[in-house]
Amino acid sequence: MDLLHRLLYTAISAASIIYIIVKTSLSHWKRRGILHEKPKFLVGNLGGVGGKRHISTVLEQLYEKYKGQAPFIGCYAYLKPMVLVLDLELVQNVLVNHADHFKERGVFGNAPHDPLSANLLQQDGADWQRLNTVVCPAFVDENISQMLPTLERVAHTMHRSLALSADTNAIAVNNLVDCYNIDVISTLAFGVSGETLLNSDTEFRRMARSYLKDFNMFRLYFLMYFPNVARLLRYKNYEQAATDYFLKLVRQKLFEQEWSRLDKGNSFFHMFAELKRHREASKRLSDEEIAAQAFSFILMGLETCNSAMAFCLYELALQPELQQRVRVEISETLKRSENGLDKKSLKSMHLLRQCLYETLRKHTPYAFLLRNTNKDYEIPNSVFMLQTDNHLVIPIAAIHRDPALYPEPNKFSPERFTEENIKRRHPMAYIPYGAGSRYCLAQQFAEMQMLVGLATLLRDYSFSPCRETPIPLVYDNKRLVLSPKGNLILKFQRV
């Protein structure tokens, strides 16, 4: 047999094997007789995601098509069979009531070789348990309240930077809030006074934007199917340059803190640094673990807060009367508290808070939650059972846009979040931060950070649409966290 024939036979055999593997994987739900969305070759039900469609849109379409027919359906993330949860009772059982069956999230991490992945999001099992016990106390109410003065200081710098661009009259609000959130993170999580609002091209910002490797479908397949091999091969999620930068920054600050007699200040960084010398070995954090906790503010808290703050300003720009009511509330509250933004005054800005909640409903930053079944689970009052190692997707953005829960879901109506209206809904009808033991531990801090920034801007500036404002809004399908495509430009004016 000549070389050409051999090559031909090898290619045909390889193609047949791949075809059989793909076909077998994509018939998982059919073989089990579970209601499912018909998959497409190689992409499953994620065709077009990252290109023509956002993952949020895909999940919303599936949710709307099948809700009410079964507590869950089968679907495919590329070749991987996934369980798409549709019923709010099941959501509550998975996240809260029977969470001991669903402790793991299953996001790939490789802490020994990729130190920044030693964060709570990417850890499961005993590693998560230990880290959660050690890190959670930093996020209690008393600690985060002490960070309010720093947030106010950074917000004032944002206010000043807006005043400096007053001659331009219009600004990309997504960019403005990105600088604010970056400076908050560098100051409070890394202990380094942020300067991005004064000079937008800082190294910290560059690194905070470039830590992720470019999207690659083959890499994704590899991590989904062979996570242990990936670990063995020392696979890293994050770019080496970013890892080196953040590790060096943290080590340098830890060294300075050890030798400095200065006031240690109130910040997450200082609290994490204290854990380096904890009496109990199991509660002690290494330098790398401290860097990973600081990094989780970038990983989980940057694009989410950017998205919520920018979309909130956008929605208020489209509703000038609502914006004016918010401004009056802020001014009156600040007058009562003699211009300081303390915990009490923030709490009494009900309308601003409702606007933020409504933004997180209409433009939910994370479209879904993930859980793995760690032991078989019989769904109460049904004939269904979830097997060990099922991968669950909870489509929170789709739930937040369900017309049965939120009539006219495209309408921006903060009154959906009055106390009475919240009480009328199922507790799982609104979960932008997740729920149960793996919910977002920084929820209170994130809300304080966003409210301080928004109140500082809206008190003195009005925002309105201009020629460059994208109406209707277009999302960037390439990004996982819901973000605008291009810039969100708004006209602004001092009031």
Half-sphere exposure of 272 (CA within 13 A, CB side): 27
Nearer to ligand HEM, 307 or 333 (CB): 307
**Least distance from ligand HEM to the Cβ atom of residue 336, Å:** 27
Nearer to ligand HEM, 190 or 297 (CB): 297
| Per-residue contact string for residues 354-373; x = within reach of ligand HEM by CB under 6 A | -----------xx--x----
CB 144 to ligand HEM: min, Å: 11
Query: Which H, E and C letters describe 385-428, residue by residue?
Result: EECCCCEEEECHHHHHCCCCCCCCCCCCCHHHHCHHHHHHCCHH
Q: Is 147 in the site for ligand HEM (CB under 6 A)?
A: no
Site for ligand HEM in 446-475 (CB under 6 A): 446
Give the H/E segment covering residue 393: strand 391-394
> How big is the CA angle at 384 (ends 382 and 387), to the nearest 5 degrees?
145
Output the six-digit token pair for 212.
Answer: 């992720």
DSSP reduced 3-state for 439: coil
By Cβ distance, which residue is nearest to ligand HEM? 434
Identity of residue 494: R
Question: Minimum distance from CB of 208 to ligand HEM (Å)?
Answer: 13
CA distance 376 to 383: 13
| Secondary structure of residue 463 in the 3-state scheme | strand
Distance, first Cα to last Cα, the chain: 84
Decide: is 121 part of the binding site for ligand HEM (CB under 6 A): yes
Which positions from 232 through 271 interact with ligand HEM, judged by CB under 6 A?
A: none
The token pair that represents 6 in the structure block: 């051999």
Q: 10 Å Cβ neighbour count for 87?
A: 17
Q: How far is the CB of 170 from ligand HEM (least distance, A)?
A: 25
Cβ distance to ligand HEM smaller for residue 115 or 301: 301
**Which residue in the set 75, 90, 300, 316 belongs to the binding site for ligand HEM (CB under 6 A)?**
300
Cβ neighbours for 493, distance < 8 A, ≥ 6 positions apart: 169, 461, 462, 464
> From the list 304, 354, 390, 456, which residue makes contact with ligand HEM (rule: CB under 6 A)?
304
466 is in an annotated binding site: no
Q: In the range 306-325, which residues lie near ligand HEM by CB under 6 A?
A: 308
Q: Kindly tell me which of 138 and 197 has the beta carbon lying closer to ligand HEM.
A: 138
What single letter denotes the amino acid at residue 68?
G
Restricted to residues 386-405, the positions that interact with ligand HEM (CB under 6 A) are none
**Out of 57, 61, 132, 257, the residue judged to bind ligand HEM by CB under 6 A:** 132
Report which secondary-structure segment, H or E, holds 221: helix 217-225
Which residue in the block uniquely carries the two structure tokens 């890892």? 243
How long is the chain?
Answer: 495
**How many chain residues touch ligand HEM (CB under 6 A)?**
25
| C-alpha distances in Å from residue 380, one per residue of 84, 90, 122, 282 | 17, 9, 30, 38
- Binding string, residues 41-80; x marks residues near ligand HEM by CB under 6 A: ----------------------------------------
Annotated binding residues for heme, written as ranges, equal 440
- The contact set with ligand HEM (CB under 6 A) reads 105, 119-121, 132, 296-297, 300-301, 304-305, 308, 365-366, 369, 432-435, 438-442, 446
